[in-house]
Amino acid sequence: MKLALTLFSVLLLAPMVALHAADSTDLFAPYLDGKAPEILREVASTNTTPENITVRRVVFRSRDDSEIFALVATPKTTGKHPGMLVLHGGGGSAAVDQAMAWAQRGYVAVAPDLPGIADPKKLTDTKGKWSASNYGEGRWVATPDASASGTFDAVLAAMKALYLLRAQPEVDPSRIGVVGISWGGYMTTMVCGLAGDQVRAGFAIYGCGFFDLGKYGQEKKEAYNPKLPQTSLGRMPSEERERWLSQLDAGRRVPHMKAAYFLAAATNDFFGYASAAQATLDAIPGEKNHVFAPNANHKIPLPGGSVFEKSPAVPFTPTAFQPYPTPSGSKANWLAMEVPYFDHHLKGIGQPFPKVSVQKTGDSHLARLSITAPHPLTKVEVYWAKATPADPSGEDFLKREWIALPATKTADNLHEAKLPAEAADWFAVASDDRPVTVSSDLIRIGK
């Protein structure tokens, strides 16, 4: 009998050997003291602040002569509040609008600049060795060690911002969340792995770990050539690449994760390959959930996903979470599902997300699902794809077409769909009436 296994579980065996290396070799260890960073100065602003929150703009010390800008947004309501660390994407800067939106919902939010993944031209108060660099320059570097990479500075800035958040007098440090998009999604995964029980819940959007399974590991697979710029892992010398991965790849950090974790991924994403996303989920020992958006690239066009208006309101006014498809403002959240997720995990409001589990059967082409759903389900589908002609192993997810099949309910919590003979991989998608959408693991047939 052939059984379907989670995708890339075999590939994970080799990386897992190095995941639990001695902490004495961890370059972050000297910096991860849990102490709030030194505030160097406050930054004045003429921007309008919503009436129901207060905002501070500060610059704190990260390491050496590095100065990091962060916005701290706090509700005016009394008592202790949950905290939210908000991490911007690649080429961006501090996500101040999202931070203010979280504060309006009753969270103390900190949004830092993340040098190394930010666009240096957008950083006015964040200063350091990378200030005069171009975007992305110095990222794929691990000589003499991985602390030479701009990514190291990004992670360190995020961790120091986490400590700043936890130290705010209005914050309940037992209720801390982290959210980020794209490179900020990678940062969310990394922070949750490094922070252990200092974070209760993380929500990563398009960013995961195991970069060697994604774009930056597969790109330019030719042998190292010192005449070419190091623009990806594939262009790094092998020893330097391994140093980068061992210290800076979020997938190598997630076995230490204590937070509940949600990963929003897209099957054809150029940044967070579906293979890397599934490998990240496989490596997390604790509570985890996710969604795969079929035939999507850096978007979640599903109920509860990226369903916001393109044009933000001017002046900026974050609004409360609204039911799909009513937009709630593209500058207030990246995905609508962020709000019910954190409200449940950090405020104890509402119900958990649905959970889709794959049931083993004697027929590798029978997709059988067990779905735990506190809210009524509105749709359950199974998506399948052929192996790509250019890559029979099915690794090239960027060009694959995922075809929908309706799933038939066979019992209270069971659904089934019969896959065609040419199906190589499949997963299920389930939406409820909040709306929230989740997926099963990505399954490879015949392994």
All domains in the chain, ordered by first residue: 5-352 (3.40.50.1820), 357-444 (2.60.40)
Please tell me the distance from the alpha carbon of residue 258 to that of residue 274, in angstroms, as a whole number: 23
Q: Residues 382-423: pLDDT tens digits?
A: 999 998 766 544 456 678 899 999 999 999 999 999 999 999
- The position carrying tokens 């735990």 is 372
Confidence of residue 12 (pLDDT cuts 50, 70, 90): very low
- The position carrying tokens 């704190």 is 60
Q: Residues 114-158: pLDDT tens digits?
A: 999 999 999 999 998 888 788 888 999 999 999 999 999 999 999
Q: Residues 55-108: pLDDT tens digits?
A: 999 999 999 889 999 999 999 999 999 999 999 999 999 999 899 999 999 999
Q: Is the pLDDT assigned to residue 202 strictly greater than 70?
A: yes
User: What's the pLDDT at 83?
Assistant: 98
Please tell me the distance from the alpha carbon of residue 395 to that of residue 53, in angstroms, as a whole number: 47
The answer to whether the Cα torsion of 445, 381, 438, 356 is positive or negative is negative
